[in-house]
C-alpha cells in the first residue's frame, strides 16, 4: 500500500537533496516493480530502497535525512546475505516520492550500467559526489575511490576530481563485453578530500583520516 499522507516534497535543489540522490545512485534503488492484485489486474509499485552494511549510518544519517526531505520515516529492515553478513534496508513505498525522484533524473530499474547524474545545478555536485562516495566509495588500489559499471558516473567522478585538482588514477577494463571503471584518489591527496567533499559516513572519513599524509596535515 502506498504511503503519501503528510509527505512534503522539496521545492528546490539543496545540499540535502543532492546528497540523498548521491546515496540512491550508490546503494539505493527505484525498481520497476509490479504486483498482481486479487482481481487479476497488474499494479505498478513505487518502491524506494536503500541498502547499507552500517546500522549507525542508517539511523544517524539516512533516516534523519529522509525525514528532513520528505517528512516521513522509511522502515528499517534487517536482511542476511548469502555469506550470513547483515545487510540493512530502508524501504518505503510512495508514488509521490518515486515520481519526484524520477523527474529529478534518478535512474529507475536496473541502474548499474546506465545510472546517470540527475539534473541539478553544478553548485550541488560536491554533496552529490559525497553521497556517491559515502556508499560506493572505499579503498581502491592504493587510494580511495569507487568502481562502477556506469560510464556516466565514472565521467562525473573524473570531472570532479579534475576540478578539485586531485592526484588520481582512472582504470577502465572490459568484462563480458562491457567496460567497467575504477577511479581513485592517491593517498598523497587524501587530506584534500574532506576539504572539498562533505562526506558523512564515519567509516569512510576514518579511513581517509587514517592515511599518514592526512594525519600529518591534520596536525
103-152 tens-digit pLDDT: 999 999 999 999 999 999 999 999 999 999 999 999 998 899 999 999 99
C-alpha cell at 46: 513505487
Does 217 have pLDDT greater than 60? no
Distance, CA of 20 to CA of 92 (rounded, Å): 15
Residue 1: pLDDT band (50, 70, 90) is very low
Q: Are 75 and 91 in contact (CB under 8 A)?
A: yes
What pTM was estimated for this model as a whole?
Answer: 0.92
The overall average pLDDT reported for the chain is: 92
Report the DSSP beta bridge partners of residue 43: 35
Indicate the range of 35-44, 56-65, 76-85 predicted with least confidence: 76-85
SS3 at position 85: coil
Task: Name the residue ranges covered by the structural domains of the chain.
Answer: 15-218
Instruction: For domain 15-218, give the fold.
Output: Endonuclease I-creI (3.10.28)
Question: Which of 37-41, 86-90, 173-177 reaches the highest mean pLDDT?
Answer: 86-90
Write the pLDDT tens digit of every residue in 69-78. 999 999 999 9
> Which H helix or E strand runs over 169?
strand 168-175
Residue 3: pLDDT band (50, 70, 90) is low
The single residue listed with the C-alpha cell 576540478 is: 163
Amino acid at each position: 500500500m502506498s504511503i503519501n499522507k503528510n509527505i512534503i516534497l522539496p521545492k528546490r535543489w539543496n545540499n540535502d537533496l543532492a546528497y540523498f540522490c548521491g546515496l540512491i545512485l550508490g546503494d539505493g534503488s527505484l525498481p520497476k516493480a509490479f504486483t498482481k492484485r486479487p482481481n487479476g489486474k497488474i499494479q505498478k509499485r513505487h518502491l524506494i530502497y536503500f541498502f547499507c552494511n552500517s546500522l549507525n549510518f542508517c539511523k544517524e544519517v539516512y533516516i534523519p535525512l529522509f525525514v528532513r526531505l520528505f517528512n516521513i520515516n522509511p522502515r528499517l529492515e534487517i536482511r542476511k546475505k548469502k555469506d550470513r553478513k547483515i545487510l540493512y534496508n530502508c524501504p518505503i513505498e510512495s508514488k509521490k516520492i518515486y515520481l519526484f525522484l524520477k523527474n529529478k533524473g534518478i535512474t529507475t530499474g536496473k541502474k548499474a550500467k546506465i545510472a546517470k547524474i540527475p539534473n541539478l545545478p553544478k553548485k550541488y555536485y560536491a554533496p552529490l559526489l559525497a553521497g556517491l562516495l559515502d556508499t560506493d566509495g572505499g579503498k581502491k588500489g592504493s587510494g580511495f575511490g569507487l568502481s562502477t559499471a556506469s560510464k556516466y558516473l565514472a565521467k562525473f567522478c573524473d570531472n570532479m576530481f579534475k576540478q578539485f585538482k586531485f592526484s588520481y588514477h582512472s582504470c577502465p577494463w572490459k568484462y563480458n563485453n562491457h567496460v567497467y571503471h575504477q577511479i581513485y584518489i592517491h593517498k598523497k591527496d587524501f587530506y584534500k578530500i574532506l576539504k572539498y567533499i562533505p562526506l558523512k559516513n564515519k567509516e569512510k572519513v576514518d579511513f581517509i583520516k587514517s592515511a599518514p599524509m592526512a594525519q600529518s596535515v591534520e596536525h
